[in-house]
Amino acid sequence: MLYHILAIGDVTSEDGLKHLRRHLSPLKKLKSIDFTVVNGENISGTGLTPAQADELFAAGADVITLGNHTWGKIKIHDFLDDCRACLRPANFAPELPGNGWGIFESVNGLRVGVINLIGRVSMDPNVDNPFRKADAILEQMAGGAD
């Protein structure tokens, strides 16, 4: 069976969010998209607010990823603990709010594993090795952990 997964890179600014609100749902219908991952950490320039995350989900995102600007908006801290589908990088320190990966189900029953990792080149090097972290998460996923 063929599945269509759409990954959208950095959505920047409120104009980018407005564009997604207008065009993502029709695009998903047109292209028979089963699952959509959107990077939303730059909507506010540096960071994402819970209200903006809610708008991304309403526009059609199934999962939102964040990156080096994860903590740019303080309001996101508590939101990350409550919203399983808004992922900060998994190789951030484990005691930080939120999750870095998950297994999600699309509307048609497709189970999709999403891992969000941040690199260390030209970034804050104070994160776990993304390759080792990916290996550890893939082992957890294979074991049925979520």
How far apart CA 124 and CA 114 sit, in angstroms, is 22
Mean pLDDT, range 118-141, rounded to an integer: 90
pLDDT digit string, tens, across residues 23-40: 999 999 999 999 999 999
Q: Give the H/E segment covering residue 64.
A: strand 63-65
pLDDT at 71: 92
4 is catalytic: no
pLDDT at 2: 86
Identify the band that residue 121 occupies on the pLDDT scale cut at 50, 70 and 90. confident
Nearest to 57 by CA among 108, 104, 109: 104
Q: Which residue is listed with tokens 């082992």? A: 139
10 Å Cβ neighbour count for 11?
25
Find the catalytic residue in 4, 19, 69, 77.
69
Task: Kindly report the pTM of this predicted structure.
Answer: 0.94
